[in-house]
Amino acid sequence: MSIEATVLRAMLRLARRCESADEEALALRVGGSRAEVRGAMRRLDSAGLVERRPGRAPRLTLAGLAVAIGLLPAGAARTGPSSRRSSRAA
C-alpha cells in the first residue's frame, strides 16, 4: 500500500476519534518520517483529497473521505454504536 493510501486511512481513523491529524500523529501511525508524511500530504492536497490550511491540522475532503472508506477492508466501515444496534436487531 502506498504512503498516500496509508496516510488517508490514518486520517480517517483519527477523524473518527475526533483527534487532530497533524504530521507527528500521522507519522506515528503510518510508521514513516514527518518528511514522508509531508510529501504524501502535498500529493493528496494536489489531488483534492486533503485540505491543508496554514496553522491548522489537515483534514479529509469529501472525496478524500470516500477514498479512505474505500480503502478499508470489507465490513470495516460499519463499526460503531449504530452498526452494533442494527446487528442486535437482526
pLDDT tens profile 19-78: 999 999 999 999 999 999 999 999 999 999 999 999 999 999 999 999 999 998 877 665
For residue 8, the model assigns a pLDDT of: 96
Higher pLDDT, residue 17 or 88: 17
The amino acid that residue 61 corresponds to is T
Which CATH fold would you assign to the domain 3-89? Arc Repressor Mutant, subunit A (1.10.10)
Over residues 3-12, the mean pLDDT reads: 95
pTM over 0.85: no
**Confidence bin at 80 (pLDDT 50/70/90):** low
All structural domains of the chain with their residue ranges:
3-89
Rounded distance, CA 14 to CA 20, Å?
7
Burial 25-56 (b: 16+ CB within 10 A, else e): bbbebbebeeebbeebbeebeeeebbeeeeee
